[in-house]
Amino acid sequence: MVVFAAVIQRFAILWALLGGSVFAAEFSQADRDWWAFQPVRQAAVPADGGGWALNGIDRFIARKLAANDLTVAAAADRRTLVRRVCLDLTGLPPTLEQIAKFLGDDSPDAYEKLVDRLLESPRYGEAQASLWLDLVRYADSDGYNADHYRPEAWQYRDYVIRSFNTDKPYDLFVREQLAGDEIDPGNRDALIATMFLRHWIYEYNQRDVETQWHEILADITNVTADALLGMGLQCARCHDHKFDPITQRDYFRMQAFFTPLLPRDSMPVGTVAQREKFLKKHNAWAAATDEVRGQLHAIEQPVLLKHATGEGFNKFITKIKTMIRKRPGQRTAYEQQIATMSERQFGLEPEKLPERIEGGAKAKWEQLRAELAAFDPEEPKPLPQVKFVVSDAGPLAPATRMPKSGALVEPGFLSILNPGLANITPPPAALQSTGRRTALANWITRPDNPLTSRVLVNRLWQRHFGRGLAANASDFGKLGEPPTHPELLDWLAARFVANGWSVKKMHRLMITSATYRQASVNAQSERTDPTNTWFARAPISRLSAEQVRDGLLAVSGELDLQTGGEGVVAAESNHRSVYRKVMRNNPDDVMHTFDLPDHISHTPQRNVTTTATQSLLLLNSEWTRKRAAALAERLAKRHPGDAVAQVVVAQELAFGQAPLPSQLGDALEFLAACGATDDLAALGEYCHVLMNANAFLYVD
C-alpha cells in the first residue's frame, strides 16, 4: 500500500511538471513522420534539365514537369521580363532608363546584371519590407476603438527596410527581433528590432487588465509561431491540437518565453559594461536616497491617483489598485507588468503636483524635494534612450501556468521536435533580464531547425511564383498541403543556410532561374494544370495595393523617393506607400480598395479581389485623375507637340511596352476625338485610360 501511494505521488508530481499533458505527448508515428518535422535534406540536383535549365531550381522543376507530361512555356520577352523583375524586387515599374539599358545590353549576362542592380537599389528593401510587415501586423496605431497613434513605431519599419537593404543574415534578423535587448544591448538597431513584440492591438478602456495582458501574450505567441515557424498554435491554447502534434502544454511552454515581457516606452542603449558602470552609480544613489524617495512617494502617489485623467484610477479592482500604489522597485515582475498596462489608461500629470499638494503636506513635500536635490551630483547621467520597445520585467519571470490545472510550465519548445526543457543561460545581471527569449531565438535559428529555413524560402518562392512550394505559407501542419516539390524546398532551405542566411542570394537564385523567366502563356499547362501547380508558366499577378499607388506616382513622375522617417498620410504625400502612417481603423482609400491587409492579424498571403469598386475608384477618384494630369504634363514637357512620341513614352512608362501600330493608331484617334493633339486635357484623358488598363494593373 505504501509502495502504491508512492507511485501515485510520483505520478502526480510528473503530471504537474508536464502541465497535465503527459498522455498527449505520446505522438503517433505518422505525427513523427510528418514532412515538416523531418530534418532538411540536401537533395541531389537532378542531372536532366530538360534542355532549358539554367540552375538547380530548373532541374527540380523539369523533373516534375516530365512526370506530369508538361512542357515549359517559352521564355518571356525582354520588355515583359524587365517589368516583372523590377516590380518583384523594387515594387516599382521600370523607368525609361532601366528599360533602355537592359534592351541595349547584348552581353550574355545582361539579365543577371539587371537583377544585381535592382538588388543593390534602396528601393529593394522598401519593397521587400511589405512581406515582413504583413507577417508581423505592423501598424502605427493601437487598433480597437481609440486607435491611438504610436509615434515611435515607424522606427521598426525603417529597421526592417535597412535589414533587407544591407542583406542582414536572416538568423540575425530573427534573433534581434526576439531578443535584441539581451543579445546586443548596446546596439540601437537591435533594441528597435524588439518592436516585433509590440505590434499587438491594445484597448485603453479596459478594466480587466489581467485578461488583456494574457490576450497580448497569446497574440505574441501565435504570431511568433506563424511568422517564424509556419505553425499555427492558436488551437492548442485551449486544448491539444486536433490535427497537429502540438499539445496544450507545448503552447504554454512556448508562451513561457514571453511571460516576463514588459513593454517599455523608453529603454537605455548601452553595452553590458556601460550598464554595469551606470548601475553601480545609480544603485549607490538609490540606496542613499531610498528613505526620502519613499516618503515622497507616500505623499505624491495618492495625489496623482486622485487627479488621474482619462477613465481614472478608481475603475480598477482592488487587486490592481494595490499593484499600482506600490513603488516600482517593490513590485514583483507580474505586478510591474499589470501596473504598467493599467497606468496607460490614465494620465498622472506629475507636473501639476505643486498646485495639487495642499496643507501641511506641501511644506513636507518641498522639504523632501530639497533633500533629494542635494543628492543630484551623485545621480549618474542617463544612458541614451530608445522608445517603444520591450525588455523583461526583471531577472525573475512570473509563473506560467496551465489554464485549468494551474500546473507550473517552464519554457520549452514543440515537443515533437524537442521534448526537453529549454537550456536558458541567464544574461549578465546588468541587463535585468531572464535570458528566455535568447534561448528561444537560438533554437529557432539553429541551422538544423527543420522549420525556420523552409518557411522563409517558401515565402520568397510564393512572392516570385504566385504560390508556395508548400501552398499554406504559415501552416506547415496537417491542415496545410504538403509541398509539391519537397526535394526542391529542402535544396533551397539547405542552400539558404549554407549561404549565410542571405535573403538577397536566395532572391537572386530564384529570379535568375529559367523557371522565373518563362512567359505567362502556355496553352498546354493552362488546360491540364490550371492552378500552375507544376510551374510550367509564369503567374499573372495583380499589382499589390502599394504597387498600384506607387506605380501611379512613379509613372506620373511625382513619386518622392525620400527614405525613412515618421509616417506620412498617404493621401497628402507622394512618398512611397511603405512610409505611410498605418492607422488600423483609418486605412487609405485607394490602398484599402486594392486589398491592403487590416494590420490587425498575421497575413501570410494577401487576398486578391477583382471588384467594381476598384474600377470605379480608378475612374472617378480625384487622386487618380491628378496622377493622369501630372503624367500628361510630363509627356508634354518631354515631347512638346509630338503626339506619337507622347503615346509611345506613355505606354512604355505605364506598361513597359511600346505600343503596337494598331494601338498607336487608336491612341492618336482618341486624342483627336478629345481635342487637338497638343491639347493637355486630351492627353490627360488618354493617360487616365492607361492607368485603368489591365496592362498597368497586372504583371505577366
Domain-embedded: residue 124: no
* Residue 465 forms part of a structural domain: no
Instruction: At 79, list the grid cell.
Output: 520588355
Closest listed residue to residue 431, CA positions, set 563, 274, 326: 274
What b/e sequence results for 508-521 when a residue is b if at least 16 CB atoms lie within 10 Å of its CB, and e otherwise?
bbbbbbbbbbbbbe
Distance (Å, rounded) from C-alpha 636 to C-alpha 638? 6
Helix residue ranges, H only, 148-208: 154-165, 170-183, 188-193
Give φ, ψ of 542 to 5 degrees. -80, 145
State the DSSP H helix or E strand holding residue 263, giving kind and residue range, or none if neither: strand 261-268
635 inside domain: yes
pLDDT at position 25: 55
pLDDT number for residue 676: 58
| Domain assignment present for 691 | yes
Q: How many domains does the chain have?
A: 1
pLDDT of residue 312: 65
- What pLDDT does 678 receive? 59
The amino acid present at 689, given as its one-letter code, is V
**Distance of alpha carbon 545 from alpha carbon 36, whole angstroms:** 32
Nearby residues of 435 by Cβ (< 8 Å), 6 or more positions away? 182, 424, 425, 426, 427
User: Which tens digit of pLDDT belongs to each residue from 337-370?
Assistant: 999 998 888 877 888 899 999 988 999 999 999 9
- Whether residue 135 lies inside any domain: the answer is no
pLDDT digit string (tens) for 374-390? 999 999 999 999 999 99
Identify the pLDDT of residue 15: 40
What residues of the chain score a pLDDT lower than 70?
1-25, 310-312, 676-678
User: Taking a C-beta distance cutoff of 8 angstroms, is the pair 398, 332 a contact?
Assistant: yes
Residue 148 lies in a domain: no
Query: Could you tell me the residue range of the domain that residue 664 belongs to?
Result: 618-699
Determine, yes or no, domain membership for 683: yes
- Please report the pLDDT score of residue 310 as a whole number: 65
Q: How far apart are CA 429 and CA 422, in angstroms?
A: 20
Q: Tens of pLDDT along 238-261?
A: 999 999 999 999 999 999 999 999
pLDDT digits (tens, 9 = 90+) for 554-611: 999 999 999 999 999 999 999 999 999 999 999 998 999 999 999 999 999 999 999 9
pLDDT at 3: 41
Task: Kindly state whether residue 680 falls inside one of the protein's structural domains.
Answer: yes
| Cβ-proximal residues to 77 (8 Å cutoff; 6+ apart), any chain | 519
Beta-carbon contacts of 509 under 8 Å, excluding residues fewer than 6 positions away, are 55, 57, 492, 495
Identify whether the C-beta of residue 27 lies closer than 8 Å to the C-beta of residue 250.
Answer: no
- Name the nearest CA neighbour of 125 among 77, 154, 165: 165
What secondary structure does DSSP assign to 351-401, as a single string?
GGHHHH--THHHHHHHHHHHHHHTTGGGSPPPPPEEEEEEEESSSSPPP-B
Cα–Cα distance measured from residue 314 to residue 402, given in angstroms and rounded to the nearest whole number: 31
What percent of the chain lies above the pLDDT cut of 90? 87
